[in-house]
């Protein structure tokens, strides 16, 4: 049995960042796929450059921002001020919806304003949907916030915690909404972004440069974790460790470890992603991505890679939400592709365009459902793990809603925490 001080499960952003900064060579990364990156991977097919989902970078952490900017020079990357729209009843409204109701018809704008004045706020809301009605009123909630998030999360919004989206939710009070009618201010945490012209995996390629030779074992699936023996068994062998760092999705991790955990707390959705390459340029070359609240359209979000990196022909990503228990078969994928192309045509996004190439990806899990009981159970589970020198990191390893930068920062904080524990 091979033994290392730090055994890292998963060669995604979190695991690679941890290995890059741990400061010792006594580590090993176990990765079930044949390549590193997790969901931060890129497929390059002819003229098309597609990520596994839309990944755009908004680094604010000084050290991480400096390193990222060093690999994203003006020659190989783009810097954009975000231009995002909501496709609403056949026309576009600026995002976020709640700050741009003045772009609706006069009748709808009056309805939304009236409901804003009549809304009943609370000191404490029962759930995510209760919060939406309380803060934004019926008009805004039922025209956009409720239907869009139902498509995104593929669940009843009463199930989600008030803070399900944390800092990523674009709040706006009545003053913001009224002021925006004359002086546009749609600023958000991701108002501007950097993006490598060769795709998000440029970040992974840079992180791999810092990994020691033979520091990753690819194509190994973890079967079990024995906390008493401090041993991980894969389908290729056994590994001992002093410290175990896992970015395996927590719902999967809980199944393979010898600790009893209530599986029902791990709620999430799946997302079917289509990457589509066409033979014509975009009809509108200025939009970066759009949100689609209508239940008549199968996807909730669509983005334009070509509008971002400046390539010639239309290159898109499409995202469709599913409940976690739904089986997304090849037949379902083919059916949804046909529906997607029809909807893109009805929306005027494609006209005489012909599909040249495409990629279908099933993200499972995709969005974690943040609930009060779930957060409490996860916190208890993590406390129990830490007593065994086991730590979880990453969006899915730590079971939360966060950005790529957050995952990297968490890895750095985890190193600091473990180092301080070792020092006593």
Among candidates 394, 66, 55, 292, which has minimal Cα distance to 193?
Answer: 55
Please state, in angstroms and rounded to a whole number, the distance separating the CA atoms of residues 305 and 328. Answer: 25
CA–CA dist 69, 57 (Å, integer): 10
Looking up tokens 């755009």, which residue turns up? 56
Q: Is 367 exposed, middle or buried (0-12, 13-18, 19+ CB in 10 A)?
A: buried
* Segments of the chain with pLDDT less than 50: none
Instruction: Evaluate whether 370 touches 164 at the Cβ level (below 8 Å).
Output: yes
Q: What is the pLDDT of residue 179?
A: 82
What is the rounded (10 degree) CA torsion for 110, 132, 294, 267? Answer: 180
pLDDT at 189: 56
Distances (CA, A) of 142 to 78, 129, 145, 170, 232: 36, 10, 6, 16, 49
What's the pLDDT at 191? 74
Helix (H, G, I), strand (E, B) or coil at 363: strand
What domains are defined for the chain? 2-41+200-265+369-423 (3.50.50.60), 56-94+187-196+269-367 (3.90.660.20), 96-179 (1.10.3110)
Question: What's residue 192's pLDDT?
Answer: 81
Structure tokens at 295: 């239940």
In which residue are the tokens 């440029």 written? 202
**Residue carrying the six token digits 């340029």:** 281
Say what the pLDDT of residue 315 is: 97
The pLDDT, as a whole number, for residue 55 is: 77
Nearest partner of 192 among 77, 302, 356, judged by Cα? 77
Instruction: Say if CB 32 and CB 219 are below 8 A apart.
Output: yes
Degrees, nearest 5: CA angle 348-350-356: 170
- pLDDT tens-digit map of 268-282: 999 999 999 999 999
* Category of 219 on φ-ψ map: left (φ > 0), alpha (ψ -120 to 50) or beta: left
At 280-296, the pLDDT tens digits run 999 999 999 999 999 99
Per-residue pLDDT, 424 = 67
Per-residue pLDDT tens digits for 224-234: 999 999 999 99
Give the tokens for residue 288: 């970066």
């Amino acid at each position: 049995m091979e033994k290392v001080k730090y055994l890292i499960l998963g060669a995604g952003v979190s695991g690679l960042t941890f290995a890059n900064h741990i400061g010792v060579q006594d580590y090993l990364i176990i990765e079930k796929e044949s390549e590193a990156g997790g969901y931060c991977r890129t497929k390059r097919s002819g003229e098309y450059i597609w990520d596994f989902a839309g990944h755009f970078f908004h680094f604010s952490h000084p050290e991480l921002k400096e390193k990222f900017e060093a690999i994203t020079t003006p020659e190989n990357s783009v810097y954009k001020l975000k231009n995002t729209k909501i496709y609403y009843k056949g026309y576009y409204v600026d995002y976020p919806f709640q700050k741009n109701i003045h772009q609706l018809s006069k009748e709808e704008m009056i309805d939304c304003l009236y409901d804003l004045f009549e809304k009943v706020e609370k000191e404490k809301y029962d759930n995510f949907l209760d919060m939406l009605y309380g803060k934004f009123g019926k008009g805004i909630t039922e025209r956009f916030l409720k239907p869009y998030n139902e498509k995104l999360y593929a669940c009843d919004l009463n199930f989600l915690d008030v803070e399900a989206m944390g800092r990523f939710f674009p709040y706006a009070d009545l003053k913001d909404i009224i002021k925006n009618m004359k002086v546009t201010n749609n600023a958000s945490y991701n108002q501007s972004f950097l993006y490598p012209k060769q795709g998000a995996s440029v970040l992974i390629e840079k992180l791999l440069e810092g990994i020691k030779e033979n520091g990753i074992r690819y194509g190994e699936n973890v079967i079990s974790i024995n906390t008493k023996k401090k041993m991980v068994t894969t389908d290729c062998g056994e590994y001992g460790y002093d410290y175990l760092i896992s970015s395996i999705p927590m719902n999967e991790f809980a199944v393979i470890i010898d600790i009893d955990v209530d599986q029902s707390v791990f709620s999430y959705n799946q997302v079917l992603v289509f990457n589509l390459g066409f033979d014509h340029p975009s009809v509108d070359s200025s939009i970066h991505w759009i949100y689609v609240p209508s239940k008549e359209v199968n996807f909730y979000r669509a983005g334009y890679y070509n509008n971002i990196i400046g390539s010639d022909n239309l290159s898109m990503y499409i995202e469709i939400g599913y409940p976690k228990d739904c089986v997304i078969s090849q037949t379902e994928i083919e059916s949804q592709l046909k529906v997607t192309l029809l909807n893109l045509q009805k929306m005027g996004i494609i006209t005489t365009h012909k599909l040249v190439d495409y990629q279908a990806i099933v993200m499972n899990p995709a969005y974690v459902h943040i609930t009060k009981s779930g957060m409490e159970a996860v916190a208890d589970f993590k406390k129990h793990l830490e007593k065994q020198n086991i730590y979880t990191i990453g969006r899915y390893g730590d079971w939360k809603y966060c950005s790529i930068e957050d995952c990297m920062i968490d890895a750095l904080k985890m190193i600091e925490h473990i180092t301080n524990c070792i020092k006593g």
